[in-house]
Amino acid sequence: MKKLLRHLLAAREPQERAGGRVYGPGERDALTGAANKNAFMRIVEKALADGQTQGCLVLVDVDHMREINEQHGSGTGDRILQAVAAALRDNFRAVDAIGRLEEDLFGLWIEGMTAERVGGIRRRIAVVNDKLLHAGGELPTVTLSAGVALGEPGECYQDLYIQAGKVLRRVKEGGRCGCEIQMSRKTD
């Protein structure tokens, strides 16, 4: 009886995910283990709403995912999404939030990121791309495109998402497999 009670209580507690974040029931993407879109949005909104936290939103898109699904099947596509989520977890800090926002679009919220330090994100995305390109194995190679927007305290998630989306589109239009960072709103 005590075992059953402990099991039931544990099932009601929030569950820990890679990335140092605690997600409750219904807050994780079932395929990748990342936060789902709503949970990710709440994490970013809460951080920005405190009036003191700045950071950056990184939108990461898996390049040519539609073609991969058409040529290799959705099962292979699912395994690629799982590998991408794992690569992002492995190459960013444990406190950074990772969310799956759409089919092949991930978001990263990197709290405390300043304009002076944001260049490290480009290097990390390059490392992830290199690992994905040279992974070998049974999965087709993939690359990522990323758009980064700095968020200021009090800013809203939706505005930051729109800015990061504009930057991501520029990367995709410029040939994919890269990362661009918006240093200020004046550049758009």
Task: Write down the pLDDT at residue 126.
Answer: 96
For residue 15, what pLDDT is reported? Answer: 40
Q: Measured over all CA atoms, what is the biggest interatomic distance in the chain, rounded to whole angstroms?
A: 63
SS3 114: coil
Q: What pLDDT shows up at residue 10? A: 38
What is the residue extent of each domain of the chain?
37-187
pLDDT tens, residue by residue, 112-165: 888 888 889 999 999 999 999 988 778 899 999 999 999 888 899 999 999 999
Residue 33 identity: G
Going by the DSSP 8-state scheme, the letter that residue 187 receives in this structure is: G
Q: What is the pTM of this model?
A: 0.85
- pLDDT at residue 135, rounded to an integer: 81
Return the pLDDT at 187. 43
Sign of dihedral through CA atoms 90, 92, 98, 104?
Answer: negative
- CATH for the stretch 37-187: 3.30.70.270
Distance CA 95, CA 100 (A): 16
8 A C-beta contact, residue 117 and residue 67 = no
In a 10 Å sphere around its CB, with 0-12 CB exposed, 13-18 middle and 19+ buried, how is residue 9 labelled?
exposed
In which residue ranges of the chain is pLDDT below 70? 1-22, 184-188
